[in-house]
Amino acid sequence: MAALFLFHRIPMPALTLPLPVLLAMLTAISPLAVDMYLPAMAMMASDLHTDIHWVELSVSAYLIGFAIGQLSGGPLSDRWGRKPLIISGLLIFTLSSFFLISTADLTQLLWLRVLQALGGGLATVNAAAIVRDLFRGADVARTLSMVAMITMMAPLLAPVLGAITLNFSGWRTIFLTLTAYGGIALLLLSWQLPESHPPAARHKRWPWQDYRRVIGHPRARRILLALSLSYSGMFIFITASPYLYLEHFGQSPERFPWLFGANILVMMAMNRLNIALLNRYHSQVILRAGLILQAACASLLVLGFALQPQVSLWLILPLIMVFIGSLGLIGANAIAMVLHHFRDISATANALAGVLQFCGGALAGLIWSQLHDGSPLPMVGLMLVTAALALLMLFHLPAEQPADSNEPVH
């Protein structure tokens, strides 16, 4: 355990990076690890003497490892503190990224990706928990929105960085870049990030007791389901986007990253809008508005494709951008509302939220793959179903307990 605190003993200058930037560095790990190597899959398959479809399994391997890391990391963080888990997770992520540079076959690639994701999950599950430790009330949602707005740069830039790296060197350099990023994040967060969960606030309960406590809370359960369903719509679009843009609308592969990146830009703008709205409105009001906006866009998408199957891309694109962008009004507020009830086990509650988002998205993507009939209608229809169910979760929502003060609790 002493090795985990090695970096605390190194003399360093005073804190210079704002907390949202530090936490964004942490949460950006997985978007970088997933999106950055996507352009290199064909080259990886060739070098590893396998089919590209087998290399694509490394994405699923990462998501499985990340879910396991979150599920185990949440309770461990509530029990032992945030920084030991962050340091441990970043060490695992950095070392596994280093070994991925010299991976020689598919089996090694898949196992190292699971290990890399396990470290990423252990580390990143602490981000929202730290915000909940240090802030109260609307400041939780406001800070989470700032973190999300900065983090959105990772999925926006990662495919472009991966393609540039691939053009100048081989695919192994991508994992070298991830190793360097993990090492830098490890040093900065070990040195500058405060421990927000003091020993007096920790507990020794078994993890399943905490998960049962979160699931058993009527209000939190409804909000978690709304969050998972709203993100499922995004995962349906992500799964179907290559078909939609490349096949149905006949766009070039070179234009695809720009069409895809437009959604992220709108989400960043919505996160910025959310920060401003929190000065006047409660998180629940903004969350409901975001869910209504998402459902309205999905309804118009269904109507457009039903009335005119060959509808123009330039009529559909703005609706998709707002549908995805509305998550900027949904995610931070939903998480803040859930964490409001679980200050002592905030990492566990956040872990459950993350796993539900992933599992819901995976299930929705699987359903779409079974319904796909060569037209976009099943995609947008399923997006409407998830958005409508998410909005339904907020009807007759149990009353909130007295709100926390907006004063930080440093």
CA angle 145, 148, 149 (to 5 degrees): 85
Q: Tell me: the pLDDT tens digits for 102-124?
A: 888 888 998 999 999 999 988 88
Q: Which domain-ending residue is among 204, 235, 259?
A: 204
d(CA 15, CA 21): 12
Domain co-membership, 197 together with 258:
no
Is 165 among the domain residues? Answer: yes
Confidence of residue 377 (pLDDT cuts 50, 70, 90): very high
Domain co-membership, 186 together with 249:
no
d(CA 271, CA 325): 8
CATH number of the domain residue 93 falls in:
1.20.1250.20
Domain co-membership, 194 together with 217:
no
Characterise 137 by phi-psi region: left (phi > 0), alpha (psi -120 to 50), beta (else).
Answer: left
CB 12 within 8 A of CB 191: yes
Q: Is the pLDDT of residue 23 over 80?
A: yes
Domain co-membership, 323 together with 278:
yes
Is 388 among the domain residues? Answer: yes
Q: Tell me: the pLDDT tens digits for 166-194?
A: 777 778 888 998 999 999 999 988 888 87
User: Is the pLDDT higher at 204 or at 386?
Assistant: 386
54-92 in b/e form (b: 16+ CB < 10 A) is ebeebbebbbbbbbbbbbbbbbbbbbbbbbbbbbbbbbb
Is 27 among the domain residues? Answer: yes
Domain co-membership, 355 together with 310:
yes
Mean pLDDT of 62-68: 82
Instruction: Provide the pLDDT for residue 192.
Output: 80
SS3 209: helix
The winner for highest mean pLDDT among 134-138, 159-163, 295-299 is 295-299
Residue type at 46?
S
| Full DSSP string of 211-241 | HHHHHT-HHHHHHHHHHHHHHHHHHHHHHHH
Which pair of structure tokens corresponds to residue 73? 């990391």
Q: Tell me: the pLDDT tens digits for 222-248?
A: 999 999 999 889 888 877 777 788 788
| Full DSSP string of 137-183 | THHHHHHHHHHHHHHTHHHHHHHHHHHHHHHHS-THHHHHHHHHHHH
Is 1 among the domain residues? Answer: no
Domain co-membership, 317 together with 380:
yes
Q: Is the pLDDT of residue 197 over 70?
A: no
Q: What does the mean pLDDT of the chain come to?
A: 82
Instruction: Provide the pLDDT for residue 399.
Output: 66
Instruction: Provide the pLDDT for residue 205.
Output: 63
CB 151 within 8 A of CB 24: yes
Q: Which domain-ending residue is among 149, 182, 204?
A: 204
Which pair of structure tokens corresponds to residue 163? 């393609």
Q: Which domain-ending residue is among 204, 229, 249?
A: 204
Instruction: Provide the pLDDT for residue 4.
Output: 42
d(CA 101, CA 184): 17
Which pair of structure tokens corresponds to residue 153? 């740069």
Characterise 81 by phi-psi region: left (phi > 0), alpha (psi -120 to 50), beta (else).
Answer: left
Residue type at 58?
S
Domain co-membership, 233 together with 200:
no
Domain co-membership, 105 together with 42:
yes
Characterise 282 by phi-psi region: left (phi > 0), alpha (psi -120 to 50), beta (else).
Answer: beta
Confidence of residue 199 (pLDDT cuts 50, 70, 90): low
Residue type at 281?
Y
Closest Cα to residue 298, out of 228, 391, 394?
A: 391
- Indicate the number of domains in the chain: 2
Domain co-membership, 103 together with 153:
yes
Give backbone dihedrals phi and psi of 251, rounded to 5 degrees, phi first.
Answer: -80, 155
Domain co-membership, 232 together with 193:
no
Instruction: Provide the pLDDT for residue 39.
Output: 65
Range(s) of the domain holding residue 162 = 15-204
Q: Is the pLDDT of residue 6 over 80?
A: no
d(CA 153, CA 264): 8
Q: Is the pLDDT of residue 201 over 70?
A: no
